């Protein structure tokens, strides 16, 4: 009996040990203890530069489905998901304003105002909808409004479209001229250069240039923009003390509802413009420990071909009825994704990649945040 007692004691001890311990969250702090995030770019990183005046009246401000929790997700823009991941306070627009043409929109303009250190504020998201890499005037800028041409009326909203180069200059001017090693700096731009160059292409062809010649010119211009963006990152960010810089390349713009709707030829041109921009951006960047380039281009193509793997159900249709998602809310969604009750979140919209013809839904932005998070972890920053 004593001998069997030894056996049963061993088994009982094993069974007892097996009962210990629950499933825990574990250490959720990033490996680098960031204190701030600084964002440069365009609408894809804009968290409310235009959340004033006419846009604020419509409950907008993000280029997506507006209203926190509108689709049941915690955040809207990828920079907001990322800030939460890095245990940072939520990003806020460093400069707000709208040069609204009151005669068209019916709402007065709102003067441009800084909310960064220059005015005692703490906002460091300089990214603005419509911003290009270098050129001052991007989509939505009031200077593109022409009273005689109804197709230009969308520009009457009067986006500031401060280009990325000037965004970085503004940061440096207003924040002591340097970056710190506790900042994560993100740069994500180029899309508005594509939209302007597509318009340029159409104008050139209309003026009698051959499509081949016009295409060559606009693709070259996109390559130049990519090279310029790389130079700004090298000279104005990396050379100014930043040690954690994330550059996101352009997703495949030819897969957006905007490009699909323009037809196969336009899609081909847009793809060429995108790849040329990305190639020159990549080629121009000074690689090093302080720089992380995230390949959103490859990810966007993979999301389109492997939809289900990413939890997507639709990668070709805009979820919003408004032409610009800047003023899209869950009350202005297509019937396929509209919530059953106005109080309920529009969870079906989380299957859609695009809110409007070019901007992601909150879920689409979250996928980008996951991609960036993965690359940050591999880099050792998360």
Chain residues that interact with other proteins, rule: CB under 8 A: 2-4, 6-7, 9-11, 13-15, 17-18, 20-31, 74-75, 80-85, 302, 306, 308-312, 366, 369-371, 373-374, 376-378, 380, 382
Any idea how long the chain is?
382
DSSP state for residue 189 in the 8-state scheme:
-
Cβ at position 63, least distance to other proteins in Å: 18
3-state secondary structure of 153: helix
Cβ at position 276, least distance to other proteins in Å: 27
Closest to other proteins by CB, 31 vs 283, is 31
From CA 209, how far away is CA 206, in angstroms rounded?
7
Closest to other proteins by CB, 22 vs 120, is 22
Closest to other proteins by CB, 305 vs 342, is 305
CB 159 within 8 A of CB 130: yes
Cβ at position 83, least distance to other proteins in Å: 7
What tokens appear for 298 in the block?
Answer: 């490859």
Cβ at position 88, least distance to other proteins in Å: 10
Closest to other proteins by CB, 3 vs 151, is 3
Cβ at position 14, least distance to other proteins in Å: 3
From CA 202, how far away is CA 175, in angstroms rounded?
41
Distances (CA, A) of 312 to 51, 226, 304: 29, 30, 9
Say what the alpha-carbon torsion angle 55, 362, 271, 313 is, to the nearest 10 degrees. -130
From CA 288, how far away is CA 294, in angstroms rounded?
14
Cβ at position 304, least distance to other proteins in Å: 12
Closest to other proteins by CB, 29 vs 335, is 29
Longest pairwise C-alpha distance within the chain: 103
Closest to other proteins by CB, 23 vs 150, is 23
3-state secondary structure of 5: helix
Closest to other proteins by CB, 149 vs 374, is 374
From CA 47, how far away is CA 77, in angstroms rounded?
7
3-state secondary structure of 290: coil
3-state secondary structure of 318: strand
Distances (CA, A) of 382 to 49, 102, 186: 28, 46, 15
Closest to other proteins by CB, 17 vs 340, is 17
Cβ at position 307, least distance to other proteins in Å: 9
145: left (phi over 0), alpha (psi -120 to 50) or beta: beta
Cβ at position 352, least distance to other proteins in Å: 13
């Amino acid at each position: 009996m004593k001998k069997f007692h030894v056996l049963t004691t061993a088994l009982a001890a094993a069974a007892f040990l097996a009962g210990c311990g629950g499933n825990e969250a574990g250490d959720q702090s990033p490996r680098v203890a960031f204190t701030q995030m600084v964002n440069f770019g365009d609408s894809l990183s804009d968290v409310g530069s235009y959340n004033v005046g006419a846009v604020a009246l419509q409950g907008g401000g993000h280029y997506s489905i507006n209203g926190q929790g509108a689709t049941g997700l915690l955040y809207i823009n990828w920079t907001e998901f990322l800030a939460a991941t890095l245990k940072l306070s939520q990003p806020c627009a460093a400069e707000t304003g709208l040069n609204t043409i009151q005669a068209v929109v019916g709402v007065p303009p709102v003067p441009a105002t800084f909310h960064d250190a220059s005015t005692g504020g703490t906002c460091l998201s300089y990214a603005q909808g419509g911003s290009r890499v270098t050129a001052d005037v991007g989509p939505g800028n009031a200077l593109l409004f022409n009273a005689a041409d109804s197709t230009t009326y969308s520009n009457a909203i009067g986006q500031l479209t401060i280009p990325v180069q000037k965004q970085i200059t503004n940061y440096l001017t207003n924040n002591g001229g340097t970056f710190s090693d506790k900042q994560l700096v993100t740069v994500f731009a180029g899309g508005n250069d594509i939209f302007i160059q597509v318009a340029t292409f159409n104008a050139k062809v209309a003026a009698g240039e051959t499509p081949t010649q016009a295409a060559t010119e606009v693709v070259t211009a996109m390559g130049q923009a990519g090279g310029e963006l790389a130079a700004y990152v090298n000279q104005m960010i990396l050379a100014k003390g930043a040690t954690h810089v994330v550059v996101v390349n352009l997703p495949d713009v030819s897969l957006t509802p905007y490009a699909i709707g323009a037809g196969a030829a336009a899609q081909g041109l847009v793809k060429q413009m995108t790849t040329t921009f990305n190639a020159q951006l990549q080629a121009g960047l000074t690689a090093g420990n302080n720089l992380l380039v995230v390949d959103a281009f490859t990810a966007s193509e993979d999301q389109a071909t492997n939809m289900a793997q990413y939890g997507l159900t639709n990668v070709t249709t805009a979820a919003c009825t408004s032409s610009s998602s800047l003023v899209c809310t869950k009350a202005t969604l297509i019937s396929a994704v509209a919530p059953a009750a106005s109080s309920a979140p529009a969870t079906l919209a989380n299957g859609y990649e695009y809110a409007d013809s070019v901007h992601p839904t909150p879920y689409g932005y979250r996928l980008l945040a996951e991609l960036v998070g993965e690359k940050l972890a591999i880099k050792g920053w998360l």
